[in-house]
Amino acid sequence: MDKYNSAKDKWSHDVQKNLKRFPERKQTFTTSSDIVVEPLYEPDEKTEKYVENLGFPGQYPYTRGIQPTMYRSRFWTMRQYAGFGSAKETNKRFRYLLDQGQTGLSVAFDLPTQIGYDSDDPMAEGEVGKVGVAIDTLHDMEDLFDGIPLDKVSTSMTINAPASVLLCMYIAVGEKQGVPKEKLTGTIQNDILKEYIARGTYIFPPKPSMRLITNIFEYCQEHVPRFNTISISGYHIREAGSTAVQEVAFTLANGMAYVDAALEKGLEVDRFAPRLAFFFNAHNNFFEEIAKFRAARRIWAKIMKEHFGAKDPKSWKLRFHTQTGGSTLTAQQPDNNIVRVTLQALAAVLGGTQSLHTNSRDEALALPTEESARIALRTQQIIANESGVADTVDPLGGSYYIETLTNEMEEEIKRYLEKIADIGGAVQAVEDGYMQREIHQAAYEAQKRMESQEDIVVGMNKFQVEEEINPDLLKVDEQLEIEQIHTLSQRKEKRNIEEVQQSLQALEKAASSNTENVMPYILNAVKAYASVGEICNVLRKQFGEYIG
């Protein structure tokens, strides 16, 4: 011990000497969540306790991963997010990515679809197919998955307010392919609370929105048991400017609100909880991101077991998808984004993600080109097959720094959860604007640090070069909007309008009831080729619209 203390004293002396020699380096380092980073982490009473209480991968509280073998058994799902223009154009991109080795689909919908408007609605003008694929009727969904067998691919759909409609369309496409509902796999985002907090693509007020979500839970546990009924999303909370701690805290608080709503509906926790999934961001502070994922798993396991009394270990497991940080990408020197995305993807993998999307280098400027999307996918494939990080389970487990940071983040996250509980839960915190204010303040502080160069963003506030914008960026053909509207008009004319009207009337009656599950009625309307806008307008009439 004397030898150890002597070495420690010498190290401390050398540290002070070096700090005087290199004064240009700042003296204090913190994570994005303002947690102080010590110059060295070493064994002491606290760190030994953290390591001792770690447990094993695949065992409660899952700090080290939700599966005992993690990537030694199978890699994470490589699920690249894609969608633009028409369904047929997006289908070509899907097929290309699958041919390149992608192992799961992830659908980006255009803004009109996300807020329940058809392409021919005046509110949709200029936005059709711009940030995702335009889906108006079941015909479009059929085109989107043409030649893609839904019993062999897992599909994630980033859709929230009209999630029930798009899920019913997916079910209907599966039936047309001869795939029964019980065999469909994938995830519907279906997370409306974060829309009020951070993203804004809501339609209905919170109460009826929560009803739609629990209707999906109830319907899927009976009819689509392998589908993840919600992807509780911290990604957009982080994109809005939150810290890593806020991202996890607000996401888990929202998750608790959804569980509460389902229990109030009379659902059994161990029947729906195993199908809850999460969606997190991965930013540049490498070790903070890894610790964030570990802390989130541990907290959620304790919440489900101790707070909600879940008995099934599957209900305790926080399963999550990760997307690299879109807000961290720069329009300046876009090739630098390849490096950022690689670091973020590696953090997600070392943090134990179940699936991963890697952003493309040009996404700060436009939708990704085919070449950029391929490079992003290759990033995942190189990490999986060449880096060796998937060869052992939890390779950073037991690191003094990682375990200390995980513990400190857990404590900070719990403080937020206690504050939200004091307010009255996530729904009340959203209605009070508490989470929104916290995110805005964090974003403001981050912007100040960037402008003062306290935080360096390479190519943006330091190490700049003069450059021209790449002329080879992807541009969505303006003609696609005209063609989409024309096609929709033709398809509406060819429908059995009486069947459409009857299905919408039945949906309106069901929606007016406080107890009826609307999912079967939406499915019937979808099969009659009622459009997204027509179905959402029926629900708007019954539920009203939310004005943020």
- CB of 170 within 8 A of CB of 155? yes
Helix (H, G, I), strand (E, B) or coil at 65: coil
Task: Decide yes or no: CATH 3.40.190.10 for domain 1-548.
Answer: no
Q: pLDDT tens across 433-464, in order?
A: 999 999 999 999 999 999 999 999 999 999 99
Mean pLDDT for 485-503 is 97
Q: Which backbone phi and psi does 321 adopt, to 5 degrees?
A: -100, 150
| Cα-based distances in Å from 59 to 298, 353, 485 | 10, 16, 53
pLDDT computed for residue 26 by the predictor: 61
| Count of other CB atoms within 10 angstroms of residue 400 | 18
Least confident of 27-31, 196-200, 421-425: 27-31
Residues 6 or more apart whose Cβ sits within 8 Å of residue 9: none
Peptide bond preceding 208 in cis form (omega within 30 of 0): no
Token look-up 């541009």 returns: 475
- CB of 545 within 8 A of CB of 203? yes
pLDDT computed for residue 47 by the predictor: 67
pLDDT computed for residue 17 by the predictor: 75
Amino acid at 333: Q
Strands (E) in 133-173, as ranges, are: 155-158
Q: pLDDT tens across 99-125, in order?
A: 999 999 999 999 999 999 999 999 999
| Count of other CB atoms within 10 angstroms of residue 537 | 18
Among 261, 292, 260, residue whose Cα is nearest residue 278: 292
Helix (H, G, I), strand (E, B) or coil at 458: strand
CA–CA separation, 459 vs 334, rounded Å?
9
Bridge pairing between strands 77-82 and 36-37: unpaired
pLDDT at 95 over 90: yes
Give me the DSSP letters along 249-278.
Answer: HHHHHHHHHHHHHHHHTT--HHHHGGGEEE
pLDDT computed for residue 4 by the predictor: 67
**Predicted TM-score of the model (pTM):** 0.93
- CB of 163 within 8 A of CB of 212? yes
pLDDT at 298 over 70: yes
Among 229, 227, 206, residue whose Cα is nearest residue 151: 227
Q: Is 407 exposed, middle or buried (0-12, 13-18, 19+ CB in 10 A)?
A: buried
- Domain segments of the chain: what residues? 1-548
Q: What percent of the chain has pLDDT over 70?
A: 96
- CB of 413 within 8 A of CB of 248? yes
Please give the DSSP secondary-structure letter assigned to residue 110.
Answer: P
pLDDT at 545 over 90: yes
497-512: b (≥16 Cβ within 10 Å) or e: eeebeebbebbbebbe
Q: How confident is the model at residue 364 (pLDDT cuts 50, 70, 90)?
A: very high
pLDDT computed for residue 469 by the predictor: 72
Mean pLDDT for 282-298 is 98
197-225: b (≥16 Cβ within 10 Å) or e: bbbebbbbbbebbbbbbbbbbbbbbebbb
- CB of 430 within 8 A of CB of 197? yes
Angle made by CA atoms 478, 480, 483, in degrees to the nearest 5: 125
Average pLDDT value over all residues in the chain = 94
- CB of 321 within 8 A of CB of 35? no
Angle between helix 370-386 and helix 336-350 axes, rounded to 10 deg: 40
pLDDT computed for residue 38 by the predictor: 83
Both tokens assigned to 433: 């604007």
Strands (E) in 50-134, as ranges, are: 77-82, 104-108
- CB of 345 within 8 A of CB of 380? yes
Among 213, 139, 63, residue whose Cα is nearest residue 530: 139
